[in-house]
Amino acid sequence: MKASVVAHKDFTVSKIDDRVYGAFLEHLGRAIYEGIYEPDHPSADKDGMRGDVAKLVKDLNIPVVRYPGGNFVSAYNWEDGIGPRDKRPTRLDLAWHTSESNAVGVHEFADWCATVGTEMMLAVNLGSRGVDEARNFLEYVNHPGGSYWSDLRIRNGRKDPWNVRMWCLGNEMDGPWQVGHKDAAEYGKLAANTARAMRMFDSKLELIVCGSSNSDMASYPDWERIVLEHTYDHVDHISLHMYFANREKNTANYLALNHKLDRYIETVASTILQVKAKRKSKRDVTISFDEWNVWYHSNKQDRAILDGGNGWPHAPGLLEDIYNFEDVLMVGLILNTFIRRSDVVKIACIAQLVNVIAPIMAEKGGPAWAQTIYYPYYFASIFGRGTALNLIVNSPGYDSVHQDNTPYVDVSGVHNEDEGVLSFFLVNRHGTEAIDVSVSLQGFADGQVIDHQVMVHDNLEAVNTARNQTEVAPRKGSGAKAEGGELNVKLPPYSYQMVRVKV
């Protein structure tokens, strides 16, 4: 089986915003406690943060991490997480039916971000709270001093402001499961008022308004239109969320889900343009896809806690999906879609980072390790920086519930002009056929393959564990050649590959 691709130097999509490779941490399950923070762990630093987890995070070169939620933020009092730890209150978290010790708050999270080399993207509570709490939080975090909240920050041990640029105006406010759920008009007015107040403090903030929790919501896509009609002139991005599942154990349909993702992005992009035209605006609003990942493996085991059957435990194991090789292919497809839609998707956050539907798992008192999906995320984050190429792909395909003639070969391409390197990320959706792919490199100088990584496994259900951390891991590929203006590579059945060409 054969497929062909045309990559032309001048046929591009957009410069990729590095923040497309962002991540998310919520006060949920063991993401914070026993995830990034475990004072008694052998690798813990002086602040109680796990060094082994920090190393795995740092290796990903994540530009931004969204915090502290998520559903959690819609009933969160940010003031609970500041000041002396022994005076911080324990609260009941209604979102996940657990208790929150507040041992980690904005100070601890900011210090951790500095350790792993990332920026904070903070969310304000527009569920149970509103404008006042948002502007106070902003003042606490960003004002140099000489005001009530900034002086309180200084007394709490942080002299300089953190100057956080990105702020989320609530979370999933379209969802009836959300504390303080609102309809689109009610939320749009609150978000607009909050944005106006925050811009009175600093007009250069980047503000992110809530879009739909998923594209199956009954209010979608009217939600986006109504919310943007209220907020368009006051925000920079609208957030979208989507999770991917294969409950039916149908691999062909599962691996076509990125077509549903692409339609979701296209619909919201068109809605943005509709509102822009209606408002006669010169501003551009783009998409922050600030929650995405595979999520379904842990659903059944979570029910007892989420239904309240276990009381109010602190940091129980929740949403601890153990990812398999099939999920490697799905995550590769999602990232390819974000690269191809980098014209409008400027921020994206894998949800989440540690233990909770995460590429990294950490055992209490024990090791931390990379889950299977860590690797396609790693390759895209490290090598997917530059300009997205608008590739022309000709591949045989199959019909799925999400797309007729779903191509077996899915590919994205990135040109890093500063380094003179092309990076291609390829997925073969075919379960039994290898596919020979030829990529015509037009407008580029003759090049050579400098890196070729392959992920393949004969068992789609194969996973990594604390005892076998490399069952599913990349290996050096062979046979990829660039000569005569053409790259040729063979894709084994059900495989993910990265090929880099120096040009």
Residues labelled as active-site residues: 172, 291
Task: Give the span between the Cα atoms of 98 and 120, in whole angstroms.
Answer: 25
| Inter-residue contact 351 to 331 (CB < 8 Å) | no
- 3-state class percentages of the chain: helix first, strand second, coil last, to nearest 5: 30, 30, 45
**Length of the chain, please?**
503
Task: Give the span between the Cα atoms of 109 and 127, in whole angstroms.
Answer: 22
Strands 387-389 vs 495-502: parallel, antiparallel or unpaired: unpaired
Beta-carbon neighbour count of residue 458 at 10 Å? Answer: 9
Strands 421-428 vs 409-416: parallel, antiparallel or unpaired: antiparallel
Does an H or E element contain 340, and which? helix 325-340
> Quick one: DSSP state of residue 89?
P
The burial class, CB within 10 Å (0-12 / 13-18 / 19+), for 287 is buried
| Inter-residue contact 74 to 28 (CB < 8 Å) | no
Closest CA to 461 of 497, 494, 501, 422: 494
The residue behind tokens 């009175």 is 200
Closest CA to 31 of 65, 64, 60: 65
The residue behind tokens 């070169």 is 61
The residue behind tokens 């997917």 is 384
Closest CA to 177 of 134, 122, 127, 229: 127
| Inter-residue contact 30 to 360 (CB < 8 Å) | no
Query: Which alpha helices (H) appear in 169-221, and where do they start and end?
Result: 184-201
Task: Give the span between the Cα atoms of 230 and 169, in whole angstroms.
Answer: 13
Task: Give the span between the Cα atoms of 408 and 411, in whole angstroms.
Answer: 10
Task: Give the span between the Cα atoms of 128 and 69, in whole angstroms.
Answer: 14
Two tokens, residue 398: 């199959």
SS3 305: helix
| Inter-residue contact 386 to 339 (CB < 8 Å) | no
Task: Give the span between the Cα atoms of 9 and 16, in whole angstroms.
Answer: 15
Closest CA to 298 of 272, 318, 328, 276: 318
Strands 286-294 vs 237-244: parallel, antiparallel or unpaired: parallel
